[in-house]
Amino acid sequence: MSFTVAIDGPAAAGKGTISRAVAAEFGFAHLDTGLLYRAVGAKGGDPVQAALTLTPQDLARDDLRSMAAGQAASRVAVIPEVRAALTAFQRRFAAQEPGAVLDGRDIGTVICPGAEVKLYVTASAEVRAHRRWLELGGDAARVLAEVRERDDRDMNRAEAPLRPAEDAVVIDTSELDIDQAVALAFEVIRQRLSN
């Protein structure tokens, strides 16, 4: 029987770092679902065709962590046909043994609503923009504006808006270091595994 951990939240909240740590700790496979959308956006051309023909090589591109790829991902993620093309892939991934960790924007609400554990990792826009600025550099005010712009687009899209699942455990990393946030996630998962 597989065990699915759904980790959602906005950009630069720490969900990717937490997801990788959870996968390593519990021996689960990990999928950063945002990479799927980043790869579709980065491929260019018709986004629906790009989603239907996505390959592992597309997910290995060096430029998928850039701010431009993140913005492109947010733009193609609002297209229902793109979302539909990538949903089946994510659900197959989630069903593998002994378990899987998927992080994204709608894992607990849409992709895996029956996940055994649902976490919603968040932080203030200012904290997240500062983290992104430390990672990528550039103009700090512009980075904050882009984070807010992306939040607005992700939270207000008609199809699968970014929001915590009703039964998600919220982890606000605004004032936590990564070790504290990871420890909280481990605790939630261990409790669920022991039930």
pTM as predicted: 0.85
Is 13 annotated in some ligand binding site?
yes
Strands of 24-136, DSSP E: 29-32, 99-104, 117-122
Confirm if 3 and 187 have CB atoms less than 8 A apart. Answer: no
Residue 192, in any domain of the structure: no
pLDDT 10s digits, 91-135: 988 999 999 999 999 999 999 999 999 999 999 999 999 999 998
Is 14 annotated in some ligand binding site?
yes
pLDDT greater than 80 at residue 53: yes
Q: What are phi and psi of 22, to 5 degrees?
A: -65, -45
With a pLDDT cut of 70, the percent of the chain lying above it is 100
CATH code assigned at 59: 3.40.50.300
Residue 58, in any domain of the structure: yes
Confirm if 45 and 53 have CB atoms less than 8 A apart. Answer: no
Number of structural domains in the chain: 1
Is 15 annotated in some ligand binding site?
yes
β-strand partners of 120: 8, 170
Distance from C-alpha of 145 to C-alpha of 169, rounded to nearest angstrom: 28
The band of 51, judged by pLDDT with boundaries at 50, 70 and 90, is very high
Is 85 annotated in some ligand binding site?
no
Mean pLDDT of 177-183: 96
Residue 180, in any domain of the structure: yes
User: What is the residue range of 123's domain?
Assistant: 3-186
Is 17 annotated in some ligand binding site?
yes
Is 10 annotated in some ligand binding site?
yes
Is 12 annotated in some ligand binding site?
yes
Residue 193, in any domain of the structure: no
pLDDT 10s digits, 31-50: 988 899 999 999 989 999 99
